[in-house]
Amino acid sequence: MSGTFGFPSDLILPIVALLLSIDAVAIVTLIFFERRDPESVLAWLFAILTLPVVGFVLYLIFGFKYFKTRAFGLKSTGDQAILTRVRSGLEPGIGAGTPHDLEQEAVVPELARLLIADSAAFLTAGNEVSVFTNGNDKFAALFEAIDGAKSHIHLEYYLLRDDALGNRLLRALEAKAREGVQVRLLYDDLGNQISRLKYRTLEGLGGKVSGFYRALVPSFGFRINYRNHRKIAVIDGTIGFIGGFNVGDEYLGLGPLGAWRDTAVRVRGAAVRALQLRFVLDWNFATHEGLPLGGAYFCPAPESAGSALIQVVSGGPDTTWNPPREQYVKMVGSATRTCYLQTPYFVPDVSVMTALRIAALSGVDVRIMIPSHADQPFVHWASLSNAGELLDAGVRVFGYDDGFLHAKTITIDDRVTSVGSANWDLRSFKWNFETNAVIYDRAFGREYRRIFEEDMRRSTEITSASYAARSRSTRVKESVCRLFSGAL
């Protein structure tokens, strides 16, 4: 006799028992064996209980930490041993010229002190910083630097598209490899869309290419978390790039989202050593090549090129704490006049929301800019919900209208500015490998505030009145997406 959904009636109870057992295993693992924030636990419990089996499978793909413990335990131990030596000035060629007394020269010394203690982000002086807010300018500068390379080219990107820009980069790297320049390209194994076959020419010329944390199945699998979201380039140890731009035509404004608004910086000076260190640590983890931390990659010390102090802050599943999140919280808490931030995804945890609310209630001019047009609707609705919650505290929120906003920045009081890869969301705080450049320079701070204010002219402000007038369907979408945002 057939029962529910066509199953024999005598099998229904065993199937239900199996489903409940699967859910029970997931719940016990989640609560007793993994250390999570309460909001994340509640979101996953809700998903597992309301969607038996489906919720469990989603948990295995997006939430299970078993692979993190296995994959990054040794990386964390090794990296921390090296960073401890760097922080103590014991690693030849890296810590030299970066004494701790530079903390007192930083315009927010307590922030500098936190980042040194939290992530061994040593403070560097004498840096020149140039900012890029559109892809054409950024990639023109990058290709110019690559064309002028004499010793080595180190690139680390989350996303590499198999399109005109991606193939142009590949041809440029091949040309330098023919000249005898050492070329290393590190990509995220899920983000990369260029076929391994296309890298063979570069490798045949002596270039080296590697994926970071290989996926079990291309573009899918239990390793969908723990992605290398960093965007770093180091040329000859003297020029560095960091920011939000990946490599693809859409970053030139040629994709389905149209115009693309992002932020990256080019750095000359001692901070390039910090970017080089980040690349070497990640490359050695991915390839086991054992690149040295001294020698040609770090010596001689870069010449003083400007007046900016910079710390390179990195975080990820291999760190005990969450340095990018703590950097953001500390910057918001250090603001006394202005706090302007941009992010494509605004899904922070309670600590960040509280810091922003307290800053606004204390009289700080807090402004948040997010895209008006979504590339990920689920995250977009959660972002709107979170931003809307801050309006009553006096936070001003803007939706950027002139294309897609992908910048990950914060500038406070014209004193300190952060540009990097870390979004203001739980994925960047918990799951991804991220890197930001924290720039202590008043001239750069004033310049970035001007850029933000120019972006405001291309934005629509979301006021308390306009937010209250949103449609019922919008409210429902926000509520549902907000409910599950802790599991993102």
- Is the Cβ–Cβ distance between 404 and 258 less than 8 Å? yes
Residue 1 is encoded by which pair of tokens? 């006799």
Whether omega before 218 lies within 30 degrees of 0, making that bond cis, reads no
Catalytically annotated residue among 176, 380, 406, 430: 406
**413 included as an active-site residue:** yes
**231 included as an active-site residue:** yes
- Is the Cβ–Cβ distance between 222 and 56 less than 8 Å? no
**229 included as an active-site residue:** yes
- Is the Cβ–Cβ distance between 116 and 100 less than 8 Å? yes
Catalytically annotated residue among 79, 413, 414, 425: 413
End-to-end CA distance of the chain: 43
**349 included as an active-site residue:** no
Q: From CA 152, how far away is CA 159, in angstroms rounded?
A: 21
Catalytically annotated residue among 138, 154, 380, 408: 408
Would you state the torsion angle of the CA atoms of residues 411, 414, 419, 425, taken in this order, to the nearest 10 degrees? -10
Catalytically annotated residue among 79, 236, 282, 414: 236
- CA 323 vs. chain centroid, Å, equals 11
In the block, tokens 């919720």 appear at: 55
Q: From CA 47, how far away is CA 56, in angstroms rounded?
A: 8
Catalytically annotated residue among 138, 231, 430, 477: 231
Q: Using DSSP bridges, classify how beta strands 308-315 and 396-400 pair: parallel, antiparallel or unpaired.
A: unpaired
Catalytically annotated residue among 229, 330, 380, 477: 229
Q: From CA 318, how far away is CA 162, in angstroms rounded?
A: 30
Reduced to 3 states (helix: H, G, I; strand: E, B; else coil), residue 178 is helix
- Is the Cβ–Cβ distance between 376 and 342 less than 8 Å? no
Element spanning 462, H or E: strand 459-462
- Is the Cβ–Cβ distance between 415 and 440 less than 8 Å? yes
Q: Which residues are catalytic?
A: 229, 231, 236, 406, 408, 413
